[in-house]
Structure 1
């Protein structure tokens, strides 16, 4: 199925995970799980839209610096949870142009290689593990009437892995999970075009342009880096969700009860 893009005017990559089917034939409920990019640019109209949509939990995976530099617009009646996946932004999407120039102008593959390592870190580093553990505690504390929105800056890497873990826990098949992950590229074209033009305007060379493009998009190889790390170090996703994320069988049953429609 096509991703369910929300009608947000001053933000990007806002998607409802509702409608995806599980391997046992159930469907994720609508108006329950929303993944997105940053919330600092939302208009009053967008804030009203998300409130009417039922968002009552706002989970922010950004680093403390990102949060202070571009605070979320407050959503009425929504509880805000700061759950930094990294202490600093390892995805690099919040770097200044000068920082990007210094780091990536000498190597066209610099951005790509950075992201491959970042996805290993998303699996292995303790702050990331702790953030995703707490994310699932938020999900398990929700009731069946409200939506949880989870986001980072671009809504593709830290948010993308949050969605991978969540969809896996709900029993969605791996092909659908991959398609949802890669779909981010459809919905980040406006900020991508802006940052690419800004890089050109500053005189960025071809190496830097390629790195910036890789930093601002998703590739199957990035997800594969995370999944290969999970398999090599933990034996597979189910073990990782149990042993590292802390989801018991009861937790997964509760998640499925909260977020899936009944079969048939």
Structure 2
């Protein structure tokens, strides 16, 4: 997998990268400068914001819950449309490190929280449909989507978009694991947030929340296949993409 120039280093964020360059089995490549994913944007510096403006990003899809946005709002960009599309609106489901606390479920089993989250996300196809609607409305306009860590909720959206474009599962898994190369910056970022780790949580559970582990993404795939048979069927039957929609996305986003 080509990792050259994929990650864009920002002063106030982390795990910000371009999904361009990934190849399909047919030999096409995802266009660079069109699809971006990242972690929390609330700490962006003026220099960071100038860079994002230069990238020409026209749509930001914020995948977080209302309470997360209330504590850590995205900055406002004059010429960029901000879209709130919560992937997991249920506050009782742990989505990121800041949700951990004494009463969090399954704390004795590191990783179980994110396995459950990845399975649960499959039950929100309407949320993913909204992301695709924005993408189909302006397929030529660069899009950025993010959550807090830029890993699981963001990873689910990346998985679905790349799958619709025909990128193979092994490449998508490599993209998911790329997050682990950003762990030091991610941990430093969360350590600077007011609500981070104020309650005693086992270190093994914290590590499991921070890391990208294939068992998490596999749980997402397994739940899709359990309910719909294949990722292609989920994209069409649950999310509602048509063959024409998929052809349009490929026409604009592949080269």
User: Is the 2:20–2:35 contact (alpha carbons within 8 Å) kept by the matching residues of 1?
Assistant: yes
User: Is the 1:112–1:211 contact (alpha carbons within 8 Å) kept by the matching residues of 2?
Assistant: yes
CA RMSD, Structure 1 to Structure 2 (Å):
2.4
* Matched position secondary structure for 1:101: coil
CA shift for structure 1 position 101: 3.2
In the alignment, what sits opposite 1:152? 147
CA shift for structure 1 position 100: 1.6
Aligned partners of 1:149 and 1:202: how far apart in 2?
30
In the alignment, what sits opposite 2:162? 167
1:1-264 equivalences under 5 Å are 1-2=2-3, 4-89=6-91, 90-93=93-96, 95=98, 100-103=101-104, 107-109=107-109, 111-124=110-123, 128-144=124-140, 146-192=141-187, 204=200, 208-261=202-255
Aligned partners of 1:183 and 1:20: how far apart in 2?
13
User: Is the 1:22–1:171 contact (alpha carbons within 8 Å) kept by the matching residues of 2?
Assistant: yes
Aligned partners of 2:107 and 2:88: how far apart in 1?
24
Where do 5+ consecutive residues of structure 1 fail to align? none
CA shift for structure 1 position 193: 5.2
CA shift for structure 1 position 88: 3.5
| Residue 238 to residue 31, structure 1, CA distance change in 2 (3 Å) | same
**1:172-228 Cα deviation digits (max 9, x unpaired):** 1111000001111111322325658999x97946xx111111112221101111111
Where do 5+ consecutive residues of structure 2 fail to align? none
User: Is the 1:56–1:79 contact (alpha carbons within 8 Å) kept by the matching residues of 2?
Assistant: yes
Aligned partners of 1:169 and 1:65: how far apart in 2?
31
* Matched position secondary structure for 1:100: coil
Please identify which structure carries the higher helix content.
1
Q: TM-score, normalised by structure 1?
A: 0.88
User: Is the 1:17–1:28 contact (alpha carbons within 8 Å) kept by the matching residues of 2?
Assistant: yes
| Residue 134 to residue 197, structure 1, CA distance change in 2 (3 Å) | closer
CA shift for structure 1 position 94: 5.2
**1:9-58 Cα deviation digits (max 9, x unpaired):** 21000010111111110111111000011111000111110011111101
Aligned partners of 2:39 and 2:224: how far apart in 1?
25
Aligned partners of 1:108 and 1:163: how far apart in 2?
30
* Matched position secondary structure for 1:140: helix
Aligned partners of 1:157 and 1:21: how far apart in 2?
22
| Residue 256 to residue 197, structure 1, CA distance change in 2 (3 Å) | closer
